[in-house]
Amino acid sequence: MKIVNPIPEPADGANAVVDGLLRKAHAQLERKFAIVRRPEVAVGAFRSSLGPILIAEGPKGLVLIHYMDSGDTAGQLDKLRQKFDPIKDPRAVEPVVDEIARLLEGDADALTHRVDLSMVDSDFRREALRRLCEVPSGSVVSYQALAAATGAPNAQRAIGTAMATNPIPVYVPCHRVVRSDGMVGNYGGGPSRKIKLLRAEGFDIDRHHRLHAVWGHRDTKIYCRPECQAAQRANRSKLLMFADAPHARQAGMRPCKLCRPAG
């Protein structure tokens, strides 16, 4: 009986080619499966010190805090599903509610959760929110100053849009952005929530929604009374407003020798 020889093994060079094709195919499959296997986020809805909120947290940090009585909750969940797989798990995100409560009681160090800006699609908005996170508790910045810090000094309206669409309020503190004249201005969760957050951080706000603050200059590191001539002449894009003199000093500022701000 004639024995038929088996199919010969490919030469070493051919093996290398096949291995390379297999590696390439596996890499392509991994990318495809990575898209299918979106990161999971724990989601919960709560009654909080700021009213009803929806919270979502993923492996890299908080991705969403939504005031449920001020907008389209279903729309927010749809946006969340575009990038993540939401899993109902209130216990996993409940500590955020406790941190917000402690913040409103005056604990400036209450917020410890990381944030993940994956829900922000615009590079400009993402950069504006990153810059905003550098504004410390007890201080606020104007829309103009934040635009300048982001590298677009004339983009105040775009900054307003970035604040209005901020997916993680409180932790990404859009309540710390106010008008150049010291008025509180708009807020996605409503002005009463913004005032509540600012008062918790030490600000005195009158019935006209104007902040009583001292003004500090980023470059000179000097803080003044708002009516001081030096403050009035200063480039508004370089100013921070502080709740009081101790907050200004804590930020490394020194008092103006002209107006001698108290505190």
Give the tens place of pLDDT for each residue, 166-189: 999 999 999 999 998 899 999 999
Residues 229, 188 share a domain:
yes
pLDDT grade, residue 236 (50/70/90)?
Answer: confident
Res. 239: pLDDT tops 80: yes
Residues 94, 52 share a domain:
yes
Q: State the average pLDDT over residues 19-37.
A: 64
Percent of the chain clearing pLDDT 70 (strictly above): 87
Q: Is residue 90 part of a domain?
A: yes
Bridge partners for 198 per DSSP = none
Q: Note the pLDDT of residue 71.
A: 79
Q: Is residue 15 part of a domain?
A: no
Q: Note the pLDDT of residue 146.
A: 96
Which member of 174, 224, 228, 256 is catalytic?
A: 174
In the chain, the number of structural domains is 2
For the question of residue 259 being annotated catalytic, the response is no
Q: Is residue 243 part of a domain?
A: yes
Query: 194 vs 87, 139, 154, 184, 198, CA distance in Å?
Result: 30, 13, 24, 8, 6
Question: Taking the model in full, what pTM does it have?
Answer: 0.84
Res. 6: pLDDT tops 90: no
DSSP-assigned letters across all residues of 4-61: PPPPPPPPHHHHHHHHHHHHHHHHHHHHHHHHHSPPEEEEEEEEETTEEEEEEEETTE
CATH number of the structural domain spanning residue 132:
1.10.10.10
- Domain of 169 in residue numbering reads as 122-255
